Each structure stands twice: as C-alpha cells, then as structure tokens.
Chain A
C-alpha cells in the first residue's frame, strides 16, 4: 500500500485523471444504465433537490440559529455602512446587572433531571465486570468518546489493582483523579497584550453560539475595565450583524459592521482600524459559522485571521466555540479549525443543558487545546471560566 500512496502523492495529475476516469467511465456508464431503468428507480424521491450545488460553491455560508438572551425581536437596526456604531462605548448606558452563575449551581440544576446512574456504583463493594462497564458507559454517555473511555478505564483498572482500591467510591475517585491530571496545569487565561490592538476571533461550526459568546465576553471585558469593540464578521447569515448589534448594546460596546454578503476579512480589518483609532484595546471578531469540511470556507477563515493580524491588529486569541451537545464530531472540528487558524482556546457553550460536553475532554487531552470559557445560559452574565475539577465531577453526576 505504501507504494501506492507514494505514487498518489507524487502524481497529482495522475490522480486527477484517475478520479476523472472513474467518473467518466464509471459514472457515465452508471448513469446510462440507470437512466434506462429509471422507472424502476426507488432511491430518489425528492423532486426538487439540487445536490450538486451543495458542495463547492463559492464562499458562502450560513450560521443557523444561535442561542440568546431575552430581548425584543424586530428592533431597528442600522443598515449598510461599515462604521455603524450601536452605542458609543463609555457613554452611560444602563447595563443589565451581571449575575454570575456558579459552575456547580448551573450544572446541578441541569443534572438533577438525569442523574443517579452512578449512585448505585459508588455504594457497592468490590467492582465486578458489569460495574466497570457501567463506569465506561457513563463516560461514553457524557460524549467523552468510546476510545478515550476505554483507555481511561484500562488505566484506572491497572491503578486500582496496584493501590488496592477496588470498591466503587475508591475507583470513581481514581478515575476522576486520572482525568483531573489530564486537564491540570493548562494555561486558561485569555491573552490580552498591553499597548496593542488585540484581536480575538471567534470561530466554529453553525449554531454553536459564537455571536452570543461574543456578547457575553464583551460585557465581561467592559466590566474588567477594557474597551472592547465588536466586529460583525458574519456577513453571510441573515441578520447576524443585527444580532451582534443588540449584543453590543447590552454589553455597552461599539460594533463595526459591513454589508451583508461582504468580505468578512475587510469587516474585521475595519474593526481593527476603528479600534486603533478610538483607543479600544481588543476587537472581538465574529465569523460566520462554517462546517469544517468545506475547504473553501476554511480558506476564507485563514484569510480573515491573516488580515486581522496585520498592523495595527494583533491576533492574541482564536477561540473555537464548541456546543456541549456536540458528539464525536467535535474532535474533527477542533482538528480542522486548528489547522486552519491555529485555535488558542475553546469556549464550551450550552453546558446548562442536559449534555455534558465530554468531547472537550478528548479534545483537550489529545490536541492540548485548553478550554477557557464555559457558557451556562442565555443571559449576558452566563459565562464563566472553565473549572476542570468541577467539569470532571459533573460528567459523572
């Protein structure tokens, strides 16, 4: 097989031809055959679908729904121009009182509905095979992933045999400790370099909560005495800029937007220029949600990052927003986004639901990308620092 691989990599043109041949001869003949017997076909019953348009169109992209704070819909919105500020930062705006939820408080509320399946385990004596399996299942159900779960259980089995702790409670503690170790010692602070126009980019697939997260982060920065500016780099999804502008209002920050369908990189660049001119120290760059397997959109994102890094801009954080309900695909997302834009941290959103977000454990331990923030609700204050210990404990609650 290795010959073959070498062959393929060395002969790109040949590969192209080969693929082409497959399609022409194969596809062609197949179609010919199919079209003869079309009356018999059962497979395609959707009349108006144009599948071929699905892949590979020019840069275009949509962000599906994102979660948000309560607020009136249909509020007026500025249209069009690049410099369109919702609120002047520093102007006295009535900001909503910030109530920070505690990690545990929120989670316990969420968990109470589905908890208890490890309760029996903890009370039991020496663990049997079924108990070990239950432990593994708990990890799997938290979306940690089957291979990671198997590995963890194997490790803990070995440790347990050595230490003699073979009862339920002891083993559970060993497992948690093993997972804590994995997440320990990571740098989780958000990076803001002084004297520079920092840019924090928020990236991720559609519907994970990028815009909402920016709103929350903006408010938090304002409270910490920074002067953030939001740049509506999602020029694709309908009304994405309007959504961000409402968040700008709530957070008390400027918002820079471009026209719908415009070039996202230029919006971010305008944001950087505006921030530099107004003495803002950090630009929060929104980007359109994109599925990581669309290479043209990932290329676009790479460009956004490069442009944002141009003087006076300085990209100091690229935050990948991951939805806690995401399953194993989260790993692929993290890998591809990191390749494209060098992700510096993860924001785990929607952890106030019943999903446990275990995939970020796998992502952090395999790719060493630290989880930095956690979204726990729809209010502007519902954003907390990631607490690895609480997170691991909550996986089993």
Chain B
C-alpha cells in the first residue's frame, strides 16, 4: 500500500530518462497506475474516469518542470487535480437572521451521526453559540440515551420525546425559541438510501424544521456505494455539505472524492478521533495526498507544532546542530515526542518511508527504557557521558533495570548522533534551516535539483496557494538525519530514501 504513486511512476518513467515532454504513451501507462491507485482508495469508478481524462489532458505535452522529474511532474498534476476536485468552495457557516439556525444530520446506519451531531454542537459552542441537540433517532435502541450522555459531556442540552421524529423535530424548534438556543442540531435515525419509507420520513423531518444546513454523514471507509448513497440523499434532502467521519482510521478515503463529485457541495467537516474535540473543518489538500497514499505530512507537522513550543524547539534544534545537545535535552525532547502519540503512529505518517521500516514494531516501551537509563544518571553524567566508566555503568544499569551493555549501547549511539549533528551543524550558518538545505544538496549530489518537489513538501503547498516560502520540503531535507551517522547504510539507501521524501 505504501508503495506510492511516485515509486510506481519512477518505474514507468525511469527508463525514459529526462525527456522534455511527456508523450501520450508515457502518460497512458502512468494513467493505468493512477486508476489502480484511485480505485484502491475507493474512489468511485465513474469519478476515476473523469479524473483520468482531466489528468491526461494536462499531462500530455506538459513541459517537465526543471526541478521535477517526469514522475514527480505527473504526481504533482494528479495531486492538484485531486485537491481541486475535493476543494472548491469551502463551507462558510452563516447564521439565520431569525434564530435558531437549524442543522439536520442524515446518513446511513453506523456512519457516525449521533457522535458527529454532538461534536458539531461542541464546535458551535466553541464559536460562541448556544446549541440545542435534538434526538430524533427514535429507531435505534438507546440512541437518544447516547445523545444525552454526549450532551452532558459537552454541556449542551438535549431535547427529545418518545413520539415520532417529525413531532420531535417540530417541538424542538419551539423549545429552542423558548429557551433562547440559537443553533439546533437534529440527529436522525440511520437509514438505507433505498428504503423508501424512511427516506420519505427524513424528508418530512426536513420539511418540518426547514434546516439551514443539511449534512450527510459519510464514513471515510465507505466503498463504491458512497456514490449511490450521496445521490439518493441529495435528491431527497438537497444537501449543503458532508461530514466525513472516522478519518482517524487508515482508510484512504476515496469516498470523499466520490461524494464531492456527486453532490457538488463541500465536505464541511472531518471527524478525526473519538473525543468530542476531534472535529475540524475539512482540509482538501490533506485528503488529496491521503487518497494517493502519501502519508499525512501536514497532520504530522501540526502535531509537532502542538507538542513543541516554537521557541523551545528552535533552541533545541540550534543546540543540536551545534553539537551541544546533552542527554538531558534528549530526554526532554523525548517527552515532547511522546506527547504526539505512539511512535508507531508517527512513523506511519511519514510519507514514503520504506514499507519495511513502517512495519518495524516500534515499541514505546523502548522509549521508557531509554528514559530509565538517562534518569539513572547523575546530572554530570548527562552533561558529559564520557564520565561514565564501568562502575558508573553498573550503577546506572541497576538503577534503570537494564544491563550494562544496554547502557553503553545508548551512550555510543548518542555519541554518534551528536557527532553527526555537529557535522551537520558545521555545514551551514546560524539559520537552522540552512544547514539542512546544504546537507540535502550534498546527500543528493546527483543534481536532481535541490528543491525537488516530491510528495511531502512543496507541491502540496503550492497547490494551497503560495505565500509559504520557507518550509517547503523541510521534511525531505530531514531524511539524512534518519540515519544517525552509520556506515552500514550505503549511499543507495540514502538516495532511495531521499527520493521517497
């Protein structure tokens, strides 16, 4: 799965060398791969067809940009097309001049309507509104109970009564007016798109409450059927947007594209986790790279951003590059890293990492062991690990419940890392980003053009519309650091990894 499109394209275009233009035959071959990749991501067949023709039109005869090789050029086009298809107008919530603003949630069973309704209520609350949740799912046992529990957890009142959905919805609007609630979110029962009676029912609920926004809740894992579902619901309810749920799973989420194409309305929100606050406005550019199987660099970067204080991080990075990075700093950084979640997940988000490496079991307990070792050292030892002799090593290993070999192993590796950092730092000026740029150029060495634009970096940003100068390709530049000064890795490996980034 992680053999990404670029890898495949490199296979196709590799033998062609660097031609000035892409020929139709080259592009056709690449298009086959694109079709497979999109279908594997659950993009609907008909949507794939449309996309293919658009991509073909753009790719044939396209001047290969100086900084890109043909494979990257095609990936760039594909990514741009996907982003454009997913994006378009973004939703802008405007509030009804005569409150309440009514939001209707509809969808299949199990898509996540109840949870999303509550998350949306929380979102409105964060915008300074006073939402009211309405339990109009009288079908599923305990659905209203579920909504009440969620409502309590976010401190939003829930209105429901055991009558019928239409009556509940109508009464809820009254209730909202009486109690001064300015947003009403109506949770409805899950229903199959082909169930005439239930589709008629939701239509009547909609007629009763006259929603300002009708959202279709769609599970990101949905397959080809997403198109049928979206069509059927759109016909009945005239959707205003889509809420895409379960994006914290590993589905590539092609359904988002299918639904967007069919409904022609924006994907408004994305549910990205189990907590009430795991709910955000939708980012088309992230989804595009996800569908293409290119990792989620932006999320990763955001995670890093949240876990680290910018100043702190800058300082740590500077110290690291100057070779003044001590075990204490290391410990500190490790804590920060832990905040970002299990290492395994972080590794999984790095795009283009070799499959083999992704599959390595990264055990967070290893981190605990390293921590224990460092914590068992004295302050002096942490600042200057050279102090550590056999007897100190014995003490440390006892203190940390490890053995002396593990202790010396850690120290040796840390030393190597330090050395490498120093080398790296020596290459550039004070500016943190500069040395790495230098390093990248060096490691690459083959003149593919320093600023290559592969998956992770630039091109996605370019598509999001400029303004963003510096950070491009930062990830890419990092890759040599993945290999802390070790000669067992040969240049090809590095080259390989670099290309993937």
Contacts and interface: CB of A to CB of B under 8 A. Distances in A.
A1 B366 contact: no
Contacts of A80: none
B156 interface: no
Could you tell me the dominant secondary structure of chain B's interface residues? Answer: helix
A30 B362 contact: no
A327 B496 CA distance: 32
A28 B317 contact: yes
A25 B423 CA distance: 14
A296 B341 CA distance: 11
Interface in B388-431: 409-410, 413-414, 417, 421, 424
B484 A17 contact: yes
A74 B144 contact: yes
A29 to B, nearest CB: 4
B26 interface: no
Contacts of A217: none
A67 B343 contact: no
20 contacts: A1-B492, A14-B486, A15-B360, A19-B337, A25-B481, A27-B304, A28-B313, A33-B471, A56-B342, A62-B115, A64-B112, A67-B109, A68-B143, A74-B160, A147-B36, A207-B109, A209-B109, A239-B149, A246-B142, A353-B194
Interface string A24-42: 1111111111111100111
A184 interface: no
A243 interface: yes
A207 B481 contact: no
A254 interface: no
A12 interface: yes
Contacts of A354: 192-194, 225, 228-229, 232
A119 to B, nearest CB: 18
For this complex, into which size category does the number of interface residues on chain A fall?
Answer: 35 or more
A340 interface: no
Interface of B: 35-36, 39-42, 44-45, 108-115, 123, 126, 135, 137-150, 153, 160, 162, 190, 192-194, 219, 221-226, 228-229, 232, 245-246, 248-252, 254-255, 272-275, 277-281, 283, 285, 298-299, 301-308, 310-311, 313-314, 316-317, 320-321, 330, 333-334, 336-337, 339-348, 350, 354, 356-357, 360, 362-363, 366-367, 370, 409-410, 413-414, 417, 421, 424, 432-433, 436, 464-465, 467-471, 474-475, 477-479, 481-484, 486, 488-490, 492-493, 496-497
Contacts of A62: 115, 274
A53 interface: yes
B221 A205 contact: yes
B232 to A, nearest CB: 8
A326 B221 contact: yes
Interface in A130-147: 137, 140-143, 145-147
B366 A13 contact: yes
A65 B470 contact: no
Given A56-B341, A146-B39, A328-B40, A5 B109 contact: no
Given A43-B464, A141-B45, 14 more contacts: A16-B366, A17-B414, A30-B475, A31-B314, A32-B432, A37-B470, A52-B340, A67-B110, A143-B223, A239-B145, A243-B141, A291-B249, A327-B223, A328-B251
Given A67-B140, A67-B190, A239-B145, A48 B277 contact: yes
Contact of B488 (A7, A9, A137): A7
Contacts of A295: 342, 344-345
B250 A54 contact: no
A32 B432 CA distance: 9
A325 B108 contact: yes
Given A22-B481, A30-B304, A206 B225 contact: no
Nearest to A53: B275
B40 A145 contact: yes
B149 A31 contact: no
B83 to A, nearest CB: 12
Interface of A: 1, 3-5, 7-9, 11-37, 40-57, 60-62, 64-75, 77, 109-110, 113-114, 137, 140-143, 145-147, 205-209, 236-240, 242-243, 245-247, 260, 291-296, 323-330, 332, 350, 352-356, 358-359, 378
A366 B457 CA distance: 36
Contact of A28 (B139, B190, B314): B314
Contacts of B409: 13
Given A46-B280, A207-B110, A77 B489 contact: no
Contact of B357 (A8, A55, A294): A8
Nearest to B476: A26
A48 B154 CA distance: 14
Q: Which of B146, B248, B370 has the most CB of A within 10 A?
A: B146
A66 B110 contact: yes
Contact of B254 (A30, A65, A327): A327
Contacts of A238: 145-150, 153
Contacts of B223: 143, 325-328, 330, 355, 358-359
A208 B110 contact: yes
Contacts of B39: 140, 145-146
Nearest to B223: A327
B482 A25 contact: no
Contacts of A141: 44-45, 224
Contact of A72 (B162, B245, B342, B486): B162
Contacts of A292: 249-250
Contacts of A293: 248-250, 345, 348
A3 B488 contact: yes
B45 A137 contact: yes
A14 B496 CA distance: 19
A344 B146 CA distance: 31
A212 B221 CA distance: 20
A18 to B, nearest CB: 5
Contact of A296 (B109, B194, B342, B471): B342
Q: Which of A9, A30, A57, A328 has the most CB of B within 10 A?
A: A30
Contact of A64 (B114, B194, B354): B114
A4 B348 CA distance: 17
